[in-house]
Chain A
Amino acid sequence: MHSAEDIVRLYGDMLYRAALSLVWCPEDAEDMVQDCLVKWLTARPEFDSDEHEKAWLLRVVMNLSKNLLASAAHRTRADLLDIYPAEEPEEAWLLEEVAKLPEGERSAVHLFYYEGYKTAEIASILGKKESTVRSWLHRARKKLKKQLEEQE
């Protein structure tokens, strides 16, 4: 069984980015990672594999982030690009557009394009149907493509 230190070293950044992709605020993302790891520490669930553990942690951090988005405690998302500035204007534009996507689409985009999960795996992590995840990804691509065409 992993220790707290192992978990932070192994999954800390992954959880932080997953939370960031939803809450879009570094301070809130840090809180979400901490809350998630406290849940892990309290529950101490048994996992079949490291992959299972990773998926469980992702699911928890994303649920916590969604809860935060629904609450009044959520801070603004404006400061993400101040803390981690974009290297080029296209990158900043893309991030702004991704930030505008609804939370479901954003989480699907992050898990698909960044974490490299398949739609079935994303469905299992987010507790949704695979068809829902596919439709989120389709809609997100369509919106980004449209915005890109308008920009050009």
Chain B
Amino acid sequence: MNKYKKYMDRCSQSESQKQALIEKLQKEEPAGTVLETQEAPAPRRKRPMRLAWAALIPAAAIFAVLILPGSPLSLRISADHEPVPGIQDGSGSSSWISDLFPGKKSKAESTGNADPLSPQNQGQDIPPVGTEAHYAEEKQISDDKRPPEEKQTEPEQRGTDRASDIPDETYCPVPPEERTDPKGDVDVSYSENVCKVYLSGVPLAALQDYTRGAEAWEALSCSVQIEFVFEVPDYAGPGSCLIFGLCGTEQCLVTADRLNGSFRKLPLSENDYDIIKQNLYQAMEEEASKQASRKSARADETAPSLDAPRSQQP
């Protein structure tokens, strides 16, 4: 390997290249916060886009989908007709969304629709989450709640209409010219515990055995360094996932949405990232233990008593 070392020693950028790089960086340095000032970065050499990131959706919307009726977890809960404190019984304050985003209200809470099972909401048709009707209704509700001047001034922007409770700076700073419609470009397939993500037919990642656990996920070759994948099959059909990982240098949450053929990322602060991840783990654990205890309770009720006192037997 000394030969490799010797060879690499000879590979270096020339002084003029370094000087040019320094100048480029110094030009950007005073801006320092290019992304905060909403200025697009200086155009560099044109190259095809690696991933056609969709217009970004806020974490609140993603997790609202998880907690609202129709999402996989709440479906499982409601199937047993047992309201869970803080989620479906209307006690509200300890709902998931508040836990996940301290200080933020869930969409349901903010629109006054916190408990879809409450008497005043009975008899209304609630479209399933993930359907166009659901999103249309959600948008209608939030539009109705806003003052008229806000309705007039807000530009139409696909994918961001449910972002009212997240400040603008949390959006992923993708320059406007790089935003393209990802439809048809990204696809996700799911079968036998493997979630595959494709970009224009080329496999980007195979996410294996993502039931739970903190094991590092084996990504074959992916733009996202995956740490954790959370399956949401009922959100937008089989193969839909929430992926926690590293996009370049920043921790982010990615949703792979088979229904819309889209792939979205949301950068998160380290703190939010950890809180969300821990809450998901915890919720999954709690849900699993609840289901296990219900199963064992049912088994106890139905199983014939083998140890009845002999005196009671005929």
One of A16, A98, A109, A127 near B216 (C-beta < 8 A): A127
**Which B residue's beta carbon lies closest to that of A60?**
B249
**Which A residue's beta carbon lies closest to that of B27?**
A4
Cβ of A23 within 8 Å of any chain B Cβ, yes or no, is no
Q: Is A42 in contact with B35, judged by CB distance below 8 angstroms? A: yes
One of B8, B26, B28, B204 near A21 (C-beta < 8 A): B8
Cβ of A125 within 8 Å of any chain B Cβ, yes or no, is no
One of A5, A16, A67, A72 near B12 (C-beta < 8 A): A16
One of B21, B33, B246 near A37 (C-beta < 8 A): B21
A/B pair count, beta carbons within 8 Å: 116
Which B residues are CB-close (under 8 A) to A71? Answer: 48, 50, 223
Q: Is A70 in contact with B222, judged by CB distance below 8 angstroms? A: yes
Distance between Cα atoms of A3 and B198 in the complex (Å) = 40
Q: Is A34 in contact with B50, judged by CB distance below 8 angstroms? A: no
Which B residues are CB-close (under 8 A) to A21? Answer: 8
CB of A66 to closest CB in B, whole Å: 7
Cβ of A63 within 8 Å of any chain B Cβ, yes or no, is yes
Distance between Cα atoms of A72 and B51 in the complex (Å) = 10
Q: Is B221 in contact with A66, judged by CB distance below 8 angstroms? A: yes
Whether A33 touches B13, Cβ cut-off 8 Å, given contacts A9-B18, A71-B48, is yes
Q: List which B19-42 residues lie within 8 A (CB) of chain A.
A: 21-22, 24-26, 28-29, 32-35, 41
Q: Is A91 in contact with B7, judged by CB distance below 8 angstroms? A: yes
Q: Is B221 in contact with A70, judged by CB distance below 8 angstroms? A: yes
**Which B residue's beta carbon lies closest to that of A37?**
B25
Cβ of A38 within 8 Å of any chain B Cβ, yes or no, is yes
> Residue-by-residue, is B36-70 near A (CB-CB < 8 Å gives 1, otherwise 0)?
00000100110110100000000000000000000
Which A residues are CB-close (under 8 A) to B250? Answer: 43
CB of A63 to closest CB in B, whole Å: 6
Distance between Cα atoms of A13 and B222 in the complex (Å) = 26
Whether A4 touches B26, Cβ cut-off 8 Å, given contacts A70-B222, A94-B3, is yes
Distance between Cα atoms of A86 and B8 in the complex (Å) = 10
Cβ of B148 within 8 Å of any chain A Cβ, yes or no, is no
Which B residues are CB-close (under 8 A) to A72? Answer: 48, 202
- Give chain B's interface residues, CB within 8 Å of chain A: 1, 3-8, 10-13, 17-18, 21-22, 24-26, 28-29, 32-35, 41, 44-45, 47-48, 50, 202, 204, 216, 221-223, 225, 246, 248-250
Q: Beyond A8-B21, A30-B21: 10 further Cβ-contacts under 8 Å?
A: A13-B12, A20-B8, A41-B28, A64-B248, A71-B223, A73-B48, A84-B7, A86-B7, A88-B3, A114-B8
24 pairs, CB–CB < 8 Å, chain A vs chain B = A4-B29, A5-B26, A8-B21, A13-B13, A31-B44, A34-B24, A37-B21, A38-B28, A39-B248, A39-B249, A41-B32, A42-B34, A68-B50, A70-B204, A71-B48, A72-B202, A84-B7, A88-B3, A94-B3, A98-B4, A109-B1, A113-B1, A114-B5, A114-B8
